[in-house]
Amino acid sequence: MERFYTLAFAAGIGCFAVAFILAFIFPWMTIEEYHGAKYRTLEELAETPSASFIELSEKFPEAFAREFPAGVNSDTYGEALRLGRDLYIGQACWHCHSQYVRVVSNEMQRFGPASTAQEYQNALNQPHLWGTRRVGPDLTREFGLRTNDSHIAHLISPKDVVPYSMMPAYAYYFEKDGTPKKDGFGLVTYLQWIGSEYIRQAEEKAADAENAEEGTDG
């Protein structure tokens, strides 16, 4: 019990391995097996550029053409998503905005449906950005709630949009007139993407259910 080998192998490696299996391998297998979550790569996520990305390209045609010469396609959309997410991580946004909704504390009234394991099975949640602190509100159910303009205004000066906000201003990602720089395009595109997987999966599920119903009718 008090010798080097026991300590190194039983405590050092053994106990760690037990915990690794119980607290990681088991939940991982559960998530893969029972939730049937399928991993989606960035290419799959970016296959169809989002409406907000297209809207950005139409609203700021010159700046957009300068930063993304190839125009709107799945490559530039993927690039913008990745860039935005990197900024979101680099600026530690996710340390103040969580990205999961719990079933308790009236969070489903405040934000929307509780989070599922499936919606995080994609390249833009690797590593996940759940966060452990909410100085600002949760962002996972923000999809489709705000326009690009409101995002840009809020990022340039949070206090002008939400009077008591203590969020830092990110005006340096935009020109003086509000035109996004490349980082600004990325950030807004990523913010507009958050939560879209949940909506997509819900729609898919609804469509499946409808098909199944039609099937029984026929």
- Between residue 21 and residue 80, which ones bind other proteins under the rule CB under 8 A? 22-24, 26-28, 30-32, 37, 39, 42
Q: How far is CA 189 from the centre of its chain?
A: 11
Residues 6+ apart with CB under 8 A from 102: 114, 115
Task: Give the 3-state secondary structure of residue 122.
Answer: strand
Quick one: which of 197, 201, 193 has its CA closest to 50? 193
Q: Which is nearer to other proteins, 61 or 205 (CB)?
A: 205
Q: Per CB under 8 A, does 92 bind other proteins?
A: yes
Question: How far apart, in whole angstroms, are the C-alpha atoms of residue 55 and residue 61?
Answer: 10
Q: Per CB under 8 A, does 196 bind other proteins?
A: no
Q: Which is nearer to other proteins, 63 or 124 (CB)?
A: 124
Q: Which is nearer to other proteins, 59 or 108 (CB)?
A: 108
**Among residues 45, 46, 56, 87, the one that binds other proteins under rule CB under 8 A:** 87
Q: Which of residues 110-129 bind other proteins (CB under 8 A)?
A: 110, 115-117, 119-123, 125-129
Binding segment toward other proteins, per CB under 8 A, in 54-62, 67-75, 89-97, 209-217: 89-97
- State the minimum distance, in angstroms, from the CB of residue 12 to other proteins: 3
Phi, psi values for residue 105, rounded to 5°: 60, 35
Q: Is the dihedral of CA 161, 84, 145, 176 positive or negative?
A: positive
Q: Which is nearer to other proteins, 59 or 181 (CB)?
A: 181
Q: Which is nearer to other proteins, 42 or 57 (CB)?
A: 42
Task: Give the 3-state secondary structure of residue 216.
Answer: helix
- State the minimum distance, in angstroms, from the CB of residue 131 to other proteins: 8
Strand-pairing partners, residue 122, are 40
Q: Per CB under 8 A, does 150 bind other proteins?
A: no
Q: Per CB under 8 A, does 162 bind other proteins?
A: yes
Strand-pairing partners, residue 180, are 174
Q: Per CB under 8 A, does 205 bind other proteins?
A: no
Q: How far is CA 74 from the centre of its chain?
A: 18
**Among residues 51, 54, 65, 135, the one that binds other proteins under rule CB under 8 A:** 135
How many residues bind to other proteins according to rule CB under 8 A? 78
DSSP 168: P
Q: Per CB under 8 A, does 163 bind other proteins?
A: yes
**For residue 160, what are the CA distances in angstroms to 104, 107, 178?**
32, 26, 14
